[in-house]
Structure 1
């Protein structure tokens, strides 16, 4: 028989693996080095927004959301439409001016509004700004305003109505899309623009041009001038379905601006590589007019978005909304774009990255004529940035100056 000390030693030897296995849960361990979080991992709220957007983008990119093929003669085909995409974080102050702009052209346009749910209204007590949509109920968005179409709009958990915002009514009534928080100089503005594009693509297959504007934008021409400049006469407009590549997008694309390298490296020295080399990094106005094919390209993109959504280390040089679309389209189809914007902005005396704000004392016919002009020989369609107090003088000259006279025919517009 084995002696007792030998048995005890043998038992202790056999128990060593068990002791080692459970020691980590019994004894305190050294603090592990923190694992750096990946910049591609989004916070839970942002991840939820991203999943919502991806679902919307997939639906908008399916063949069901695309315009049906046109027959040889273009019969039984509606004329192409312009989708006006309003990206706003405050009241649509210039809604009365836009109402007059759209009047009489119901079959040629659609309106879509992305309103920041955190926005604050300056007109919460104005009865003129209430509407049937202000109840916060779900609103059916229809491309033709007569028939239910593709998109059912509902509000996120915190509706913009909770902040006191009221729909301006009229042509804007029921035109709000599901919206997320936005913030200047962040990827949230890119996401909002893509959300507007996808909603408009999905809603009406006849939407051909997609114009992104802000609440501070005003039209500089009549709707008729704008439409004829883009599409020509009725027979030429049919070409939008037969030969869409004939029609360019209008987006500012610049490659030689000061401080471009500082903006390129705002997320880190080599973070944008390999997808976006500095030689292909572009800048331009965040407001554009894209064709349907380029709008589809924007909502299908995943590669560049993974880079542009990353947080910036240098906040002073971070303006992703001015780089994403110009870079994407410059890389994908530079010859399919007019490398200029149709929105006039005055950067003289700009402050903190904001352009000049026109006040009521500056509004005059001469200002409208001046804002229309371009050094490149084309006419601007829109202008920004205007103070809310500018509405009255603008309305006073809307019929006679803004919508009543044109500086040239569509053939001389240079577009």
Structure 2
């Protein structure tokens, strides 16, 4: 009887204990931890010091290398001698103290096949502002006939320009080289024969002179008309991650103009490997060279949009042209009211990229000029200029 009682008490006590007792956490064997650490170390070493054969990637899974390559930060590559030399020159130019001249000027650089159909409009735009601008004309096909005193004797030596080829970039550099000879030129604006001003001279002058950035169009396009034009033969200096696209019509400050002229390394890559039809790609040098160049050497020094408006809404090889019937006060005011830069990628997603046009941190209109106006629009533009050009 005594034994039974003790047994019953024991069971009762055990029931009470069982409800409150917690199992201690299991202690994993030390060898498992060591094994995990060893595997991680092995994968990191395999990524940093890859073998010439791809067989190591299949030790665990066929996707192992790619997964870990995406997870780990990219290793720093060693710069070539040419890159080191190029970066040293660019660094010195960007960091050299720059003193504005007493009479800083804007260099208006016209890239045209022949005569300029809007010289009368530009003549009105320039009147009364002598000493604040200079004009340079690169006519690639025929010698221009000038009707404005501001354009006479302003033609530079020109060569043939073929759309889509490096000769377009060569013409831009030729204009910059001539404009840089005037030490008073501080801003360098590239314009075409179909460009017109959207504001008064004073507004454009203050807009450009009172900021320390260049207006170079630059965006990432993963589609066939963007990164699809990239060639790995541009490696190691030009990597896919830095390949960019943008309109060729720029405005650059003097330091950037000097850097463009000093560059041979990146320019030579585009001259050789960015051409229509090379390796089955239609690479257009003037749409990629400067955006990519500045993405590499001074990404924070550019605005990432062009101050020259053009309408790509028709999604053709060339932008929309404006005829006489299109040019109205409403059209011009609509263009000057745009204060957001918009880019659309060329892939199937048609991703729309938007960012505000910030001038010294303040959102302002993006465009100072517009292009693709046909010659018959001149009379309408002259008639409307005093009204639409006021800020």
Aligned-pair RMSD on alpha carbons?
2.2
For residues 379 and 165 of structure 2, the distance between their equivalents in structure 1, rounded to whole angstroms, comes to 33
Q: Report what 1:210 is aligned to.
A: 188
TM-score by length of 2: 0.66
SS in 2 for 1:370: helix
Matches within 5 A, 1:15-414: 70=99, 77-116=101-140, 118-119=141-142, 160=143, 165-202=144-181, 204-232=182-210, 247-259=212-224, 260-265=226-231, 270-310=232-272, 311-312=275-276, 313=278, 317-351=282-316, 353-372=317-336, 373-375=338-340, 376=356, 377-379=363-365, 380-402=367-389, 405-406=390-391
For residues 401 and 369 of structure 1, the distance between their equivalents in structure 2, rounded to whole angstroms, comes to 6
Q: Which structure has the bigger radius of gyration?
A: 2
Q: For structure 2, which runs of at least 5 residues remain unmatched after alignment?
A: 1-89, 91-95, 341-355, 357-362
- Report Cα offsets for 1:80-134 as digits up to 9, x if no partner: 1110110011320011111111111111110111110x34xxxxxxxxxxxxxxx
TM-score by length of 1: 0.62
Deviation for aligned residue 1:314: 5.3
For residues 342 and 308 of structure 1, the distance between their equivalents in structure 2, rounded to whole angstroms, comes to 24
Structure with the higher fraction of residues in strand conformation: 2
SS in 2 for 1:84: strand
Deviation for aligned residue 1:196: 0.5
For residues 184 and 262 of structure 2, the distance between their equivalents in structure 1, rounded to whole angstroms, comes to 19
SS in 1 for 2:313: coil
- Report Cα offsets for 1:245-281 as digits up to 9, x if no partner: x61001111113522222113xxxx221112111111
Q: Report what 2:26 is aligned to.
A: none
For residues 314 and 94 of structure 1, the distance between their equivalents in structure 2, rounded to whole angstroms, comes to 40
- Report Cα offsets for 1:303-344 as digits up to 9, x if no partner: 011111124415762211011111111111111111111011
Query: Which structure exhibits the higher relative contact order, with contacts defined as CA atoms closer than 8 Å and separated by 6 or more residues?
Result: 1
Structure 1 runs of 4+ with >3 Å offset? 67-70
Contact conserved, 1:343 with 1:381, CA < 8 A, in 2? yes
